[in-house]
Chain A
């Protein structure tokens, strides 16, 4: 169940999922640049331990262009702010709007990175286990539909190969590639519609849903899982309390808030930092301990 991943992936799926959902939730609802930076760095560090530097840096250009696109779009549509840089069609393009764009981009990017970590840690089987206890029907529907993804990938390759053999598929130039892919895609859609109907009919014929549904427990909830759940619950509650008190609010319009964070609210930042960096620290200490133990053999 561990896969290639370390300590965090070996936790019970419930505390792991809860922890990451807390971080994503707080990230999405806070505007403070300090909080977003903490979340972004924590998430990126965690993703580095999961995916490896090579994989993350190959996606780096995607993340960067995504970031810049959002950061530049905001000042084009939002013209509030006291520091105009230049005027576009009689409307000011301001420094505040630009900074706000960067802030929003950081928020979306942080949420995206955490969601990526979530999808790596909470694999399909764990997700089904999590919802299987309460919503058995939904779990079945989900598992059948998730099954479709590898199935469609395989079928895509088959159709493509057949088209290549027929001489229909061309990869010379972008437009030719696009039309060829479109032809494969339309064949794939037809096939998948037919296949899903067939699957449903077959399952009914074999008696699925006739009796009471049961589910299989994949993982056991240990004491360390309980400790981790308590840890993330307390920190998340503290952070949300700080959020409700307005500790993480930061205004961009019409003028930037005078300070990034007031000195009285620094405790909330540390709580959130502990929450964001916990998965990374867990992974790294485990890896170091493993290296150390191996060196003694």
Chain B
């Protein structure tokens, strides 16, 4: 009987460990993000989110996504906007802040769950990897070039332009 109690206790402990590593937020709490007002002398970066590549591959687009109206006609989910750069911000930190501020849906896989040790953005605005063909997914450009590292490893500097682009053909984009 003593061993039974220990077994039950072990299960509870395991459950507690799983729960304690998880952060729960209500919807309002999550979207209540403040993007700093731009003052003179602040370091800033430009961010845009773009899925125009879907328009040229529209026949490959997931039917239910096409019907949902989440793919804008011009492909612009977020027009190029200036945001304050906080100290040590990575490209992903900024994306997270911007999508929260603008109430754009975004799903990512944590850095601990991917093989390359950086977060992986699975979907923005309900447009997911593989939503438009087998080679489709989100990528990011900084100052017009694709960096060699994951978004949560790329530390931004003053005046950078970050473009999140959806590609329907990963091979062609390289």
Report A's interface with B, CB cutoff 8 A: 79-82, 84-92, 172-176, 251, 253-255, 257
In the complex, per-residue mask of B4-47: 1 if CB is within 8 Å of any chain A CB, else 0: 10110000000000000011111101100000000000000000
For the complex with contacts A88-B23, A88-B25, A251-B67, 19 further pairs of A-B residues with Cβ separation under 8 Å are A79-B122, A80-B123, A82-B126, A84-B105, A86-B27, A87-B25, A87-B27, A87-B29, A87-B30, A89-B22, A89-B110, A90-B30, A90-B108, A172-B1, A173-B2, A174-B3, A175-B4, A254-B65, A255-B64
Q: How far is the CA of A92 from the CA of B6 in the complex (A)?
A: 35
Q: How far is the CA of A82 from the CA of B104 in the complex (A)?
A: 10
Q: How far is the CA of A86 from the CA of B24 in the complex (A)?
A: 7
User: In the assembled complex, which residues on chain B have CB atoms less than 8 Å from the CB atom of A86?
Assistant: 24-27, 30
Q: How far is the CA of A82 from the CA of B69 in the complex (A)?
A: 12
Q: How far is the CA of A35 from the CA of B167 in the complex (A)?
A: 36
Report B's interface with A, CB cutoff 8 A: 1-4, 6-7, 22-27, 29-30, 63-65, 67-68, 70, 96, 105, 107-108, 110, 122-123, 126, 128
A79 and B64 contact, CB distance less than 8 A:
no
Distance in Å from the Cβ of A98 to the closest Cβ of chain B?
Answer: 14
Q: How far is the CA of A173 from the CA of B1 in the complex (A)?
A: 5
Distance in Å from the Cβ of A58 to the closest Cβ of chain B?
Answer: 24
Distance in Å from the Cβ of B89 to the closest Cβ of chain A?
Answer: 16
Q: How far is the CA of A85 from the CA of B30 in the complex (A)?
A: 11
User: In the assembled complex, which residues on chain B have CB atoms less than 8 Å from the CB atom of A85?
Assistant: 27
Q: Report the nearest A residue to B109, measured CB to CB.
A: A91
B7 and A175 contact, CB distance less than 8 A:
yes
Q: Report the nearest A residue to B3, measured CB to CB.
A: A175
B4 and A87 contact, CB distance less than 8 A:
no
- Selected contact of B68 from candidates A79, A87, A254, CB within 8 Å: A254
Q: Report the nearest A residue to B8, measured CB to CB.
A: A174
Q: Report the nearest B residue to A254, measured CB to CB.
A: B126
Question: Known contacts being A254-B65, A257-B64, is A80 close to B107, with CB within 8 Å?
Answer: yes
Q: How far is the CA of A85 from the CA of B27 in the complex (A)?
A: 7
Q: Report the nearest B residue to A76, measured CB to CB.
A: B22
Q: How far is the CA of A80 from the CA of B131 in the complex (A)?
A: 12
Distance in Å from the Cβ of A96 to the closest Cβ of chain B?
Answer: 10
B4 and A174 contact, CB distance less than 8 A:
yes
Q: How far is the CA of A253 from the CA of B29 in the complex (A)?
A: 24
A87 and B3 contact, CB distance less than 8 A:
no
User: In the assembled complex, which residues on chain B have CB atoms less than 8 Å from the CB atom of A254?
Assistant: 64-65, 68, 70, 105, 126
Distance in Å from the Cβ of B136 to the closest Cβ of chain A?
Answer: 15
Distance in Å from the Cβ of B102 to the closest Cβ of chain A?
Answer: 15
Q: How far is the CA of A91 from the CA of B128 in the complex (A)?
A: 14
User: In the assembled complex, which residues on chain A have CB atoms less than 8 Å from the CB atom of B27?
Assistant: 84-87
Distance in Å from the Cβ of B101 to the closest Cβ of chain A?
Answer: 14
- Selected contact of A253 from candidates B26, B64, B96, B122, CB within 8 Å: B64
